[in-house]
Every structure is written in structure tokens, then in C-alpha cells.
């Protein structure tokens, strides 16, 4: 029994089990997060055949994950929607194991999978019904098939693996429009490994044709909207290079440090170096553009490549720290110790990430108790979808209006105010761009503070106030 | 020994060293101007100071080994008077006997003077037996230096050769070195100290890959040749030939330090005398077997280092050249390393326990500076180390001696009467646990700190996750160093000075003790003065006395012996047997013959089979592949073989290794390249013939025990017979190295 559990090949199942327990048993850890609400709502619109032009702005104009999330939501509510990514995430862990096993060794495959699931981003994004994990799933699957094609003998199996790899790369690209930043290097690497073989060229051209068709005919095509959105993000979330470098690498610095050791691996150093390079585009995109939005989530894609390189590094560290002792036990001890350090590092990041956004549960509870069907709620954030999703079944006719729409002035400067039943002010978080203090003329006389919620987050404390009409 | 000039990558590696120096200087400047945590000044400055010390020692190392040289020996001077000094205090008579036998075999006319500070009657008797001069002084002041000066007082020779009591010289020792003294200003010619006990505490041996690293590898193979370029090679207390006139010029061997050798060298160089380093193994000694002699040796070296540093610092002695001052400085500051390493070992636990960093932040900026600096430094060190470095193994030894060196400062500060000079003990030296307390402490503190910090991290009591992770890795590395040293300190030593077993193989004919029965051919392995182990394809008859004819090159030693233990392994249809024999009452003369063979021929032969350097990255990348051609995979073998001769006098030998395409045959007969060789391998009752063309020949260096190797290319490669023999050889090798 003991031998079976500690067989290298079987450890992958323990890792998957760990991932499952860490994520699937705690899917109601917060109320719905605003991005999840966007995705699920848009997915339902697509499934209902009534896509809403302009609505997918907040989701990056994609449809692959919203549809999957909406299906999950239909099956099991928010937890069902989140479960989709848990399943995809566990599959991705397995893909990374296969990639590591194929290109390096079973041991490095197992360590790759462990590094990936131990990283804070992975369980965190598995528990969120957003497109991040879905895109990573396709990206990881693509790399797995490409790795298989690198090792397969020339023939149908290799061609099929290559074609699958390219097709999955296309799917990853249309799941999140940031993924194409990885494509040039991956394609170059595949071309190099396959020495410009006919199968490689055919697979590449097929994927290119699919991409062209998608570009022109798909719903929410990236032709115009996406480029505009990228510019908006870039201008709206710009921070200094040093700050951004710290924020970016905070999540993957240890992985990269281990990958440096991977590059020193006597046998697999070159492949580890290639994987490290493959991981870099996403980091460069952030550093070059200066955009900080979603930086912590986007590091997931770097991890897909860094995990095998870092795993090679862990094996190398095992050699170095055991001083190349012939004792296998000593080497295992050091590998286990490094993995323990990585796990603690990752679990800390995971907990930090889980508490980076305010949990709207208390406010939803407030409305469930004090709200009514047909109520009008004004808010200074863009989080109306949270309430629309959470309260939709109870108050189908409730209206959620942004403060800039509710309290404005007409062309002559006369104030126009939508009569609101409740006003939500979150001056430090969702609504920090439109603090309620700017709307004192409307609020002071007609509204009174009903409830004040405090949120202890990873990076500090924020609050939300709910006002009711006098 | 490598010819440094022939390495095409020399210029590139020197360029790498320059880049590394510039990067290091920038890094240290950046560290001191922008990163020190002024809220923790002691920690911050200590770490920076340790880094600066590391940089200084590295720069001095690069300077020393900038252009190492290996010399070719000139024609020997003839008709000069040479005395050999063997200072001794408490070494055993058996140790001395071996050394004196070898001294007597030195071919250049000489006298051997035993300078016995122990005043022992048995040593005097030994000297009489072996016709050596016995001298013993009444007072024992100034330890070894005083003893050597006593020898000078009793000698009128022009040249003095000095050997430690456990250093066994080769017969051509003086012939190789005395030619250098055509230069009238040459004060001494130093040869390396080579150690034959390759499983000692100081050795890291890979028996399969035939690779040896010793802690002093770098010094003897590279640093001394590097110093030689700057006329700064120094006398190491043994294996040197010295000019009497030069010693007289400085008042004899320096008495003011326990490392009299270094101080003597400094004084000779300061007086304008020159020195030469001849990088060829001309004597074999025994390395510190366990951590105890290692510790005692390093206490002495450390103490000597402090004495010279504070009392005769070469930076301030008149007469030395700037390059010599730098070379001596590099050799003198090593005791400071103890403090440097101590800082490296305590910083991670302090940070893990307290969260206090020696720098402002451990962030991306820090990593972007540190990682390139560290990478280029390591790369440059390995390249400038010319494959002798072994930085990881050097780190292990730093862990092993950091407290020893720190302790020596305390010893130095003690009044001199409170200090006792200790000779490095040879032979059995059990490792007392107290010597490993510093390493155990480093491990315990590091592991506790890691657990403490990780628990805090998991429960989110701290949010400096990257700092914890990096320092945990650092502390784990230190733990690994500590474990390695403890492992080596506690390992079982199989080689003892009293029972030195050389993994050489010679053919042996054995039969019943009464001379009855047909003689059978086997291979002796692990030969000593008192016994051998016999490898035979077949079964060796029980535990009864056997008569053994050991077929040494040039002579046959007849002994009788009894098997003490036996191991067997099956190889297909045959059995391979390995028996350990102890000789029954062998005449001292025969033992001496064996001893002479072992040290004058076998030691050098087996050590030559090992490599003590690896190819560096630049060599692998830029070297002409022909120069570094990989040899085909060979299996070590202990197969006895006979080359039948017309006229009945067959040649007995051993097939040392075998591959599907060829084999290496060792025997006392000299073959010529291109000759056809037919070797009949003896597998117990049956035989198998291998035939091929001799492609290369190698001669042994001992004239008295001529051994010749013939590399044979098989006429019929990849034949089933060869595969069969390879299978047997593999099994036999497993049996020997089990």
C-alpha cells in the first residue's frame, strides 16, 4: 500500500485530490464576484440567443467561457459555474504533469503538477467562474499535445498531436484575447522542434485559417472592440515600472527563482530555459504597457510554462542541496523541503488572493432582508451585475442604476435625480472613481445612512455604506 | 597535469574573469549605496562585509591563477651532495619504514637523515637496519622548524630534500628537481603532495566515473602553478628540494610560526631568491582520514596564518614584489573565511525568526542585481578554476572548518605557553562528536527557523512570503552542507595507513600449501604488506593455507596465506570468487619488496586511472572535439590472461578493461604499437583467446617494477566471446566494488 502511494506515478492522483479538496469543497467562499457575474450573465444571453451588444465590454468580448459558466450556473447555480473551472483546473494540472513527464521525466512531471497546484493563482482562479482558468486550460492542453508531438515518432500520431496542439492554441486565444501574446514564441519553438515539417506547416496554416475566420465572423470579434479595450486598460491602470515589476513578480518570483536552477539542470537545462522564455510574453506585456489590471490573474499563464522549468530546478536543487550524495533519501528530503516551502508560499498567496476583493454577501443579505421587488438601487461602482445575479430571482423587477446616471445635471445645469430607494457608496473600492462625496447635493438632504459595512481585505480595510431615502 | 597554454579557451576565460570582477564591483557598490538596512546595521554591515571578503578572495584567486604554468624538468645536475631530511615526532615505525625504504630507492646519490624529535630507540634501530642516519636533539624547541634546523646543523650537503614521515618519495624525485638549480638564485623546487587514501575525509571519489576531488586539489593543481608564474610558489613543508645556501641566507627554517613552511618561503622570496613548482607527483602521502586530523591540521594552519598575518605580514615585508605580496595575501587571509561563512550561516535563521532583513527589501530589484552577479561569479570561478574548482565541494569544506578557523583566532590570542603544537595524526582517528557540534547546530537552527517561519506564513501571521521562501532555500542549502560534512565525518574509512590496500591488480598463481596440484591463475587486488584479495573465476578451496606466487613486474614474491573471508557471484555458467587472504609469517624482506612495489609503481598506476578535473563549460564548447574525444564505454575488468611465447616463457598479465571493440592489457612485457597480440584469458578451468592489434602502448614510470599497458583493438569486435567476457568482467567489478 505504502509503495503504491509513493510510486512516483501515483503521486499525481494525490496532487489532484489535494487540488480538489482545496477548491471544490469551498466554492461558496464569497458572494459572486463582479467579473463572474458579468461572465455568467453574458453566457446566459448567448445561450438564450439574445446577445447584448456592448455588454461584454467587461469580459473582454469573449464567449467561450461565458457559455460554459452559464451552463454550469444552470446546472448548479454559482457553485456549478465555479465547478466548471475546478474541473478544467484539475485537468490542467494533469496536462502539466503529462507535459513535464513527456519532455523531462515522471519525477519532474509530478513536481510540475505540484508546483502548479501549490501556486496561489491556480486554486484561486479554479474557484472563480471567470475565463482565466478556462484559457489556461486550453493553453496547457495545447502545450501538452505539442510536447507529445515533439517526442512522437513521425507518423499519424505525431501529426494528430501537432494538429491538436495548434487547434487548442487557437481555442485558448479566443477564450481570452491576451493569449495570442504567447503564440509567436510557441509557434517558433514548435517550428524549431519539428524542423519545419509538412505536418507542422499544415497544422499551423489550419489554425491560421480558423483564426482568420474567427476574426471576421465570430460574435464579439476582436476587430475593433478589443483593441479599444486594451487601450482603455492601458490608460486606466498605469503604474510605475518598478511597482509593476514587484506586483507582477510577487506571484511568480519563486517559480522563476527555481526555474533558474532548472536552467542549470545537467540533462534538461535547455528545455527548462525554453519554457522560461515561453512564459515571459505575459510579463513583458504588463511591464512594457505599464498596465496593472488583472496582473495577478494573468500570471497564471506564466505558471503554465514556469511550472515544468521550476520542477527541473527543484530536482536540480535536490542534487545540489544533498551535495550529490548517493543517498536517494537525502535528495528526496530536500526536494520535499523545497516543495514544502513552495506550498507555504503558494498557500499564503492563495489566501491573500481570496481576500483581495470585498465580499458582497453582507450587502446582498441586507437587500434580501430590506429590499423589495421594483426597488431602485443607485450605486457608485460598476458592480450592479452582482446584485442582478444574486437578487434576480427574488426581486426580478429591481433596477440597479449607476450614480452617474441617477444623479446628473441637464444641459442647462439643473439637477436631475432618479428617485432611488437605496444608494450604495463604496468610495474605496468599486466606486472609487465616483466617490459619493461628489454627489453630496443629492444625498445629504434626501438620504440617510442605514448600514455601514467594513471589509478586512488582504491589503487593508475598505467599507461600503447603504443609504435609504428619508 | 594539463598544459595550460594549450587550452584554447584561456583568453576567453580571462575575459570572463574581468567581466565578473566589474560586475562584482558594481554589485558591491550598489549594495552599499542603496540596499543596506540601516535599521539593522550590525546584520546589514556584517553581510556586506562577508560579501566584500568573498570578492577580495575571489579577485586574489583570479590574480594568482591568471596564467598558471606547468614546467618541464631540465636535465639533472650531476655530482651534487644531497641530504634527505625526514622529521618525525610520533609516527609509527611501520609508517617510517615505508618512507625510508622509498628514500633508499631514490636513484640520485644521497644520505637519508631521520630527525627524530621523539627520541625513540625503535626508530634508531630502524635507521641502523636501513642504513639511514639517525639524529635526535635534546631540546625540542620550535617544533618542526627547530627539528629541521637541527638537521641543517648536522648536514653539509648542498641540497636538502624534505619529506614528512608519511610521504613516500619516488625513486626519481631528486633527478626531476635538481636540474632547476642551474639557476643560481633558485632557493627551492616544490613538488605537489599527492594523497593515495582516496576515501579519506578530504576526498570525494567517484569510483565508477574514476573521478577524484580532494580539498587541496585546487591548490596543488592550479594555485601553485599560478603562483609559480609570479615567482611566489611556496614551500609546503614536504616534497621539496632546497638549496642549503638559500636557507643559510635567511637563518634556516623560520621558527616564528607553526606554519614554518610559508614563513620560510616569504623570507626566501623577500631576500630575492626564486622558487619553482614542478607539477608532477613525486611523492605520495596520506590525507587526513577523518575529521579529527583534519581539524587538528586546520587549527595549526589557521594559527600559523594568524601568526604570519599579524607578525610577518607579507604586505609590509621589504623585498617582496607586489605580485608576490598579493599571492601571499591570498594564502594568508583564509582564517577569516570562518567568520565570513559564519555570517552566511546565521543570516537566514535570523531573518526567518525575526523578519529582519540585512537589506532594505528582497524584491525584484535585488534579484535583478543579485542573480546576474552570482551567476557570472560562479561561472567565472569555475572557468578560472580550470576544472579543478568544485565550488560545491569547497563550500562543504568551508562548512566543515568555519568554526575551526574562528577558534584559531582565540588560540592565537592565548599566551604562547598555553598553546600546544599538535602533529596531524595519521591513521585511525575517530571523529569525536564535539567536532561536529557547529554543523549540527547550523542544521538544527536552520531547520527550526524554516519551520517557524513557514508556520507563520501558512497562518498568515507574516506576509513577507518571498523573503521567507528565499531564506528558507538558503537555510536548506546550509543544512545540506552541514549534512554532507557530518556524513563524510561519520563514514566508514576502509583505507588505513596500517593496512593500505591499493586497488591495483596483478596476476597470481596459487596452489595448495604443500605445493601439490596444478597452479591456477587468478588476479590479486587490494594488495598490502600483509595480505591481498584474490579474484578467481571458479571456487577457491576453503579456509586452508595456499601457496601464492605474486607475479610482480620483474620478480615473483612467494608467500603462503589463508583465506579469511570469501564472496561469490554467479555469472552465467561460472562462479566468480573473491577471497581475502592474510599472509602467514612473511619475511620482512618480502614485505619490503611488496611495499616498494606498492608505492613505487602501483600507487601511481592506480591514481593515473583517476581524473582530478572536469571539463569546464568553455572547454566543452570551444575545444577542438579531437582534443577531448570521448572514449568508448569500457568495463573495468580483473581478468587474468597469458600471452603464450615461443620457447615456453609465457607472459602473465591482467586485462584491465574491456569493451566490444578492444581491451587494455597490463603486463611486464613491453609491446610495440602495431604488433599483433594474442591473449588467452583464463576463466578457471577454461580459456578464451582474444586477438587484436596493439593500437597504443603506455609505460609505467617505475624502472624497478616495469609495467606496460597495451591498448588492443580486437580483430573481431562485437563477437559473442567478447560480450561473454564483458558480462564476466561486469560481475567481477561488482564483486570488487560491492
The pLDDT tens digits for B591-605 are 888 888 888 888 888
Q: In this model, does residue A291 exceed pLDDT 90?
A: no
**pLDDT (mean) for B296-307:** 86
Name which of A10-14, A309-313, B609-613, B712-716 the model is least confident about. B609-613
B47: left (phi over 0), alpha (psi -120 to 50) or beta: alpha
> Chain B: residue nearest A345 by CA?
B465
pLDDT at A459: 83
Residues of A in Cβ contact (< 8 Å) with B371: 260
**A196: its cell numbers:** 519545419
Q: For residue B6, which phi and psi values (nearest 5 degrees)?
A: -80, -10
Q: Do A323 and B480 count as a contact with CB atoms less than 8 A apart?
A: yes
Mean pLDDT of chain A: 88
Average pLDDT, integer, range B222-237:
94
Confidence (pLDDT) at A127: 95
Q: Do A253 and B364 touch (CB under 8 A)?
A: yes
**Cβ A344–B454 below 8 Å, yes or no?**
yes
The top-scoring range by mean pLDDT among A191-200, A383-392, B474-483, B708-717 is B474-483
Question: Is the pLDDT assigned to residue B628 strictly greater than 50?
Answer: no
Closest approach of B454 to chain A, Cα-based (Å)? 6
Q: What does each C-alpha distance from B116 to A380, B134, B167 come to in angstroms?
A: 97, 7, 15
Provide the chain A residues 235-264 that lie in CB contact (below 8 A) with chain B: 242, 245-246, 249-250, 253-254, 257, 260
Give me the total of CB pairs closer than 8 Å, taking one residue from chain A and one from chain B: 82
Q: Is the pLDDT of residue B121 over 90?
A: yes
A139-143 average pLDDT score: 97
At B498 the pLDDT is 52
Q: Could you say which of A260, A320, A347 has the minimum Cβ distance to residue B458?
A: A347
Residue of A nearest to B397 (CA): A323
Span A373-401, average pLDDT? 90
Chain A partners within 8 Å of B393 (Cβ): 323
B-chain residues within 8 Å CB-CB of A351? 460
A253–B466: do the CB atoms touch at under 8 Å? yes
β-pair type (B82-88, B159-162): parallel
For residue B472, which residues of chain A lie inside 8 Å, CB to CB? Answer: 341
Contacts of B364 in chain A (CB under 8 A): 242, 245-246, 249, 253
Between CA B175 and CA B518 the distance in angstroms is 45
Residues in chain B with CB shorter than 8 Å from the CB of A337 are 450, 476
CB contact under 8 A, A323 and B483: yes
pLDDT of A224:
59
Confidence band (pLDDT; 50, 70, 90) for A228? low
**Over 80: is that where the pLDDT of B319 sits?**
yes
Strands B686-699 and B708-714: antiparallel
Facing residue for A345 by CB, picked from B365, B469, B481? B469
Q: Is B468 in contact with A345 (Cβ distance < 8 A)?
A: yes
| Partners of residue B115 on adjacent β-strands | B87, B135
pLDDT band, very low/low/confident/very high, at B493 (cuts 50, 70, 90):
low
Q: Does the beta-carbon distance from B457 to A345 stay under 8 Å?
A: yes
**CA atoms of B149 and B155, how far apart (whole Å):** 10
| Region for B585 from its dihedrals, namely left if φ exceeds 0, alpha if ψ lies in -120 to 50, beta otherwise | left
Q: Which of B393, B396, B458 sits opposite A344 (nearest CB)?
A: B458
pLDDT more than 70, % of chain A:
92
- Chain B residues with CB under 8 Å of A352 CB are 460, 463
Closest CA in chain A for residue B396: A323
Name every chain B residue with its beta carbon within 8 A of the beta carbon of A322: 480, 483-484
Per-residue pLDDT tens over the stretch B154-185: 999 999 999 999 899 999 999 999 999 999 99
Contact call for A330 and B483, based on CB within 8 A: yes
CA distance B461 to chain A (A): 10
Question: How many angstroms away from the CA of B458 is the closest CA of chain A?
Answer: 6
B-chain CB neighbours of A250 within 8 Å are 466
Confidence bin at B10 (pLDDT 50/70/90)? confident
* Chain A environment of B396 (Cβ under 8 Å): 323
**pLDDT attached to residue A270:** 94
Closest CB to A340 among B371, B454, B479: B454
Chain-chain contact of B466 with A242 (C-beta, under 8 angstroms):
no
CB atoms inside a 10 Å sphere around CB B549? 17
State the ipTM, two decimals: 0.89
Chain B environment of A330 (Cβ under 8 Å): 483
- Name, in order, each residue with C-beta under 8 angstroms of B653's C-beta and a sequence gap of 6 or more: B507, B640, B641, B642, B643, B665, B666, B667, B668, B669, B679
Scanning every residue of chain B, which has its alpha carbon at the shortest distance from the alpha carbon of A336?
Answer: B476
Which residues of B make CB contacts under 8 Å with A? 363-365, 367, 371, 375, 392-393, 396, 450, 454, 457-458, 460, 463, 465-466, 468-470, 472-473, 476-477, 479-481, 483-484, 487
Query: Does pLDDT of B345 surpass 80?
Result: yes
Q: Would you state the pLDDT for residue A300?
A: 95
Q: How far is CA B189 from the centre of its chain?
A: 20
Question: Can you give the pTM of this predicted structure?
Answer: 0.87
Across residues B271-286, what is the average pLDDT?
Answer: 93
Cβ distance A257 to B457 less than 8 Å, yes or no, reads no
Please tell me which of the candidates B375, B470, B484 has its beta carbon nearest to residue A323. Answer: B484
A-chain residues near B450 (CB < 8 A) = 337, 341
Q: Which residue of B has its CA nearest to A459?
A: B463
Closest partner CB to B363 (pick from A246, A260, A324)? A246
| Confidence bin at B321 (pLDDT 50/70/90) | very high
pLDDT tens sequence across A407-460: 887 777 777 778 889 999 988 777 778 888 888 877 777 888 999 999 888 888
Written as nine digits, the cell of A257 is 527563482
For residue B499, the model assigns a pLDDT of: 61
Q: Strand B111-116 and strand B82-88: pairing?
A: parallel
The Cα-based distances of B435 to B380, B431, B517, B545 in angstroms read 33, 7, 56, 45
Cα of B697 to nearest chain A Cα, Å: 35
Name the more confident of B141 and A322: A322
Selecting from B365, B457, B480 the residue whose C-beta is nearest the C-beta of A322 gives: B480
Query: Which uninterrupted H or E stretch holds B693?
Result: strand B686-699
Which of A337, A340, A352, A354 should one mutate to test binding to chain B, selecting the residue with the greatest count of B CBs within 10 A? Answer: A337
* Confidence class for position B420, pLDDT limits 50, 70, 90: low
pLDDT tier at B295 (50, 70, 90 boundaries)? confident
Mutate to test the interface with A, among B378, B466, B489 (most CBs of A within 10 A): B466
User: Residue B434 gets which letter from DSSP?
Assistant: G
B563-595 pLDDT per residue, tens: 888 888 887 778 888 888 888 888 888 888 888
Structure confidence at residue A356 (pLDDT): 87
- DSSP symbol at B172: T
- Report for A172-181, A301-310, B253-262: range of highest mean pLDDT: A301-310
A253–B477 CB contact, under 8 Å: no
Amino acid at each position: 500500500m505504502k509503495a503504491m502511494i509513493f510510486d512516483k506515478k501515483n503521486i499525481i492522483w494525490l496532487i489532484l485530490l489535494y487540488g480538489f479538496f482545496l477548491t471544490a469543497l469551498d466554492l461558496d467562499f464569497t458572494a459572486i464576484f463582479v467579473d463572474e457575474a458579468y461572465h455568467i450573465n453574458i453566457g446566459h444571453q448567448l445561450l438564450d440567443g439574445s446577445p447584448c451588444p456592448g455588454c461584454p465590454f467587461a469580459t473582454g468580448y469573449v464567449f467561450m467561457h461565458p457559455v460554459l459558466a452559464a451552463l454550469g450556473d444552470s446546472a448548479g447555480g454559482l457553485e456549478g459555474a465555479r465547478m466548471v473551472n475546478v474541473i478544467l483546473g484539475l485537468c490542467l494540472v494533469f496536462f502539466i504533469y503529462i507535459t513535464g513527464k513527456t519532455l523531462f521525466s515522471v519525477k519532474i512531471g509530478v513536481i510540475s503538477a505540484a508546483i502548479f497546484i501549490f501556486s496561489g493563482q491556480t486554486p484561486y482562479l479554479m474557484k472563480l467562474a471567470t475565463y482565466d482558468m478556462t484559457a489556461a486550460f486550453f493553453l496547457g492542453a495545447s502545450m501538452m499535445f505539442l510536447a507529445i508531438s515533439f517526442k512522437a515518432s513521425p507518423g499519424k500520431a505525431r501529426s494528430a498531436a501537432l494538429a491538436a496542439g495548434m487547434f487548442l492554441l487557437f481555442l485558448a486565444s479566443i477564450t481570452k484575447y491576451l493569449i495570442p501574446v504567447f503564440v509567436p514564441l510557441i509557434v517558433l519553438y514548435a517550428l524549431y522542434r519539428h524542423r519545419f515539417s509538412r505536418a507542422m506547416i499544415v497544422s499551423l496554416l489550419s489554425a491560421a485559417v480558423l483564426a482568420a475566420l474567427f476574426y471576421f465572423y465570430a460574435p464579439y470579434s476582436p476587430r475593433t472592440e478589443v483593441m479599444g479595450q486594451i487601450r482603455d486598460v492601458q490608460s486606466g491602470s498605469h503604474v510605475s515600472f518598478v511597482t509593476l515589476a514587484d506586483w507582477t513578480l510577487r506571484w511568480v518570483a519563486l517559480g522563476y527563482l527555481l526555474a533558474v536552477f532548472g536552467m542549470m539542470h545537467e540533462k534538461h537545462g535547455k528545455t527548462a530555459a525554453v519554457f522560461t522564455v515561453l512564459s515571459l510574453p505575459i510579463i513583458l506585456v504588463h511591464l512594457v504597457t505599464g498596465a496593472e489590471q488583472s496582473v495577478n490573474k494573468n500570471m497564471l499563464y506564466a505558471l503554465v510554462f514556469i511550472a515544468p522549468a521550476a520542477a527541473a530546478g527543484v530536482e536540480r536543487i535536490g542534487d545540489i542541496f544533498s551535495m550529490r550524495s548517493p543517498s536517494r533519501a537525502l535528495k528526496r528530503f530536500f526536494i520535499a523541503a523545497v516543495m514544502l516551502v513552495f506550498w507555504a508560499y503558494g498557500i499564503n498567496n492563495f489566501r491573500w488572493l481570496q481576500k483581495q476583493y470585498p465580499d458582497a454577501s453582507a450587502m446582498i443579505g441586507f437587500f434580501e432582508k430590506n429590499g423589495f421587488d421594483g426597488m431602485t438601487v443607485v450605486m457608485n461602482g460598476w458592480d450592479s451585475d452582482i446584485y442582478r445575479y444574486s437578487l434576480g430571482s427574488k426581486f426580478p423587477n429591481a433596477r440597479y442604476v449607476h450614480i452617474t446616471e441617477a444623479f446628473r445635471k441637464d444641459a442647462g445645469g439643473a439637477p436631475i435625480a432618479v428617485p432611488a430607494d437605496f444608494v450604495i457608496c463604496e468610495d474605496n473600492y468599486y466606486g472609487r472613481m465616483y466617490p459619493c462625496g461628489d454627489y453630496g447635493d443629492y444625498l445629504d438632504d434626501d438620504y440617510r445612512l442605514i448600514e455601514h459595512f467594513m471589509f478586512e481585505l488582504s491589503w487593508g480595510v475598505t467599507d461600503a455604506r447603504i443609504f435609504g431615502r428619508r | 597535469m594539463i598544459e595550460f597554454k594549450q587550452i584554447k579557451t584561456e583568453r576567453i576565460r580571462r575575459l570572463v574573469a574581468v567581466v565578473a570582477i566589474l560586475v562584482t564591483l558594481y554589485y558591491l557598490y550598489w549594495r552599499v549605496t542603496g540596499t543596506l538596512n540601516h535599521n539593522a546595521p550590525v546584520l546589514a554591515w556584517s553581510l556586506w562585509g562577508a560579501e566584500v571578503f568573498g570578492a577580495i578572495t575571489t579577485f586574489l584567486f583570479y590574480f594568482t591563477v591568471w596564467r598558471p604554468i606547468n614546467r618541464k624538468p631540465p636535465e639533472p645536475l650531476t655530482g651534487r651532495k644531497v641530504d634527505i631530511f625526514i622529521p618525525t615526532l610520533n609516527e609509527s615505525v611501520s609508517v617510517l619504514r615505508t618512507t625510508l625504504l622509498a628514500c633508499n630507492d631514490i636513484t640520485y646519490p644521497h644520505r637519508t637523515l631521520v630527525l627524530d624529535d621523539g627520541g625513540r630507540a625503535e626508530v634508531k634501530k630502524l635507521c641502523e637496519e636501513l642504513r639511514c642516519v639517525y639524529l635526535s636533539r635534546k631540546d625540542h624547541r620550535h617544533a618542526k622548524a627547530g627539528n629541521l634546523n637541527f638537521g641543517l646543523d648536522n648536514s653539509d650537503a648542498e641540497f636538502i630534500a624534505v619529506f614528512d614521515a608519511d610521504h613516500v618519495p619516488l625513486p626519481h624525485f631528486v633527478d626531476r628537481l635538481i636540474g632547476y638549480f642551474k639557476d643560481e638564485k633558485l632557493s627551492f623546487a616544490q613538488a605537489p603532495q599527492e594523497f593515495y587514501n582516496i576515501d579519506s575525509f578530504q576526498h570525494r571519489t567517484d569510483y565508477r566515473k574514476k573521478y577524484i576531488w580532494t580539498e587541496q586539489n585546487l591548490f596543488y593543481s592550479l594555485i601553485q602553478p599560478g603562483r609559480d608564474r609570479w615567482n611566489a610558489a611556496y614551500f609546503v613543508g614536504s616534497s621539496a628540494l632546497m638549496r642549503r645556501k638559500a636557507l643559510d641566507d635567511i637563518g634556516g627554517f623560520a621558527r616564528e610560526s607553526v606554519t614554518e613552511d610559508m614563513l620560510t618561503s616569504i623570507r626566501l622570496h623577500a631576500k630575492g631568491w626564486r622558487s619553482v613548482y614542478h607539477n608532477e607527483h613525486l611523492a605520495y602521502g596520506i590525507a587526513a582520514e577523518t575529521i579529527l586530523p583534519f581539524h587538528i591540521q586546520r587549527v595549526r594552519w589557521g594559527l600559523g596564518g594568524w601568526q604570519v598575518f599579524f607578525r610577518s605580514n607579507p604586505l609590509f615585508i621589504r623585498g617582496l614584489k607586489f605580485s608576490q605580496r598579493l599571492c601571499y595575501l591570498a594564502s594568508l587571509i583564509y582564517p577569516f573565511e570562518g567568520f565570513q561563512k559564519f555570517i552566511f550561516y546565521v543570516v537566514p535563521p535570523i531573518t526567518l525568526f525575526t523578519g529582519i532583513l540585512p537589506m532594505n527589501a528582497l524584491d525584484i530589484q535585488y534579484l535583478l542585481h543579485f542573480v546576474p552577479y552570482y551567476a557570472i561569479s560562479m561561472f567565472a570561478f569555475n572557468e578560472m578554476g580550470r576544472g579543478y574548482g568544485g565550488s560545491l565541494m569547497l563550500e562543504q569544506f568551508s562548512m566543515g572548518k568555519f568554526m575551526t578557523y574562528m577558534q584559531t583566532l582565540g588560540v592565537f590570542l592565548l599566551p604562547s605557553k598555553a598553546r600546544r603544537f599538535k602533529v596531524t595524526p595519521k591513521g585511525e582517528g575517530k571523529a569525536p562528536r564535539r567536532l561536529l557540534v557547529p554543523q549540527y547546530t547550523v542544521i538544527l537552527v536552520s531547520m527550526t527557523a524554516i519551520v517557524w517561519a513557514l508556520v507563520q506564513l501558512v497562518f498568515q501571521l507574516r506576509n513577507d512570503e518571498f523573503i521567507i521562501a528565499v531564506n528558507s532555500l538558503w537555510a536548506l542549502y546550509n543544512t545540506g552542507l552541514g549534512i554532507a560534512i557530518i556524513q563524510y565525518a561519520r563514514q566508514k574509512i576502509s583505507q588505513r595507513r596500517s593496512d593500505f590496500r591499493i586497488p591495483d591488480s596483478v596476476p597470481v598463481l596459487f596452489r595448495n600449501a604443500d605445493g601439490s596440484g596444478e597452479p591456477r591463475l587468478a588476479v590479486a587486488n587490494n594488495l598490502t604488506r600483509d595480505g591481498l584479495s584474490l579474484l578467481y573465476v571458479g571456487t577457491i578451496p576453503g579456509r586452508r593455507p595456499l601457496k601464492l606466487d605474486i607475479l610482480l613486474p620483474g620478480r615473483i614474491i612467494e608467500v603462503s596465506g589463508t583465506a579469511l573471508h570469501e564472496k561469490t557471484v554467479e555469472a552465467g555458467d561460472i562462479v566468480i570468487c573473491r577471497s581475502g587472504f592474510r599472509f602467514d609469517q612473511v619475511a620482512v624482506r618480502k614485505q619490503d619488496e611488496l611495499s616498494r612495489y606498492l608505492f613505487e609503481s602501483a600507487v601511481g598506476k592506480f591514481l593515473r586511472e583517476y581524473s582530478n578535473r572536469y571539463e569546464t563549460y568553455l572547454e566543452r564548447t570551444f575545444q577542438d572535439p579531437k582534443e577531448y574525444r570521448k572514449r568508448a564505454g569500457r568495463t573495468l575488468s580483473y581478468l587474468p590472461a597469458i600471452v603464450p611465447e615461443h620457447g615456453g616463457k609465457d607472459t602473465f598479465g591482467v586485462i584491465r578493461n574491456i569493451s566490444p571493440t578492444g581491451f587494455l592489457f597490463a603486463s611486464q612485457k613491453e609491446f610495440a604499437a602495431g604488433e599483433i597480440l594474442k591473449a588467452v584469458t583464463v576463466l578457471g578451468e577454461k580459456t578464451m583467446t582474444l586477438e587484436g592489434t596493439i593500437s597504443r602502448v603506455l609505460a609505467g614510470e617505475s624502472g624497478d617494477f616495469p609495467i606496460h599497458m597495451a591498448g588492443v583493438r580486437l580483430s573481431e569486435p562485437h563477437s559473442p566471446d567478447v560480450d561473454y567476457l564483458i558480462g564476466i568482467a561486469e560481475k567481477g567489478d561488482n564483486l570488487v566494488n560491492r
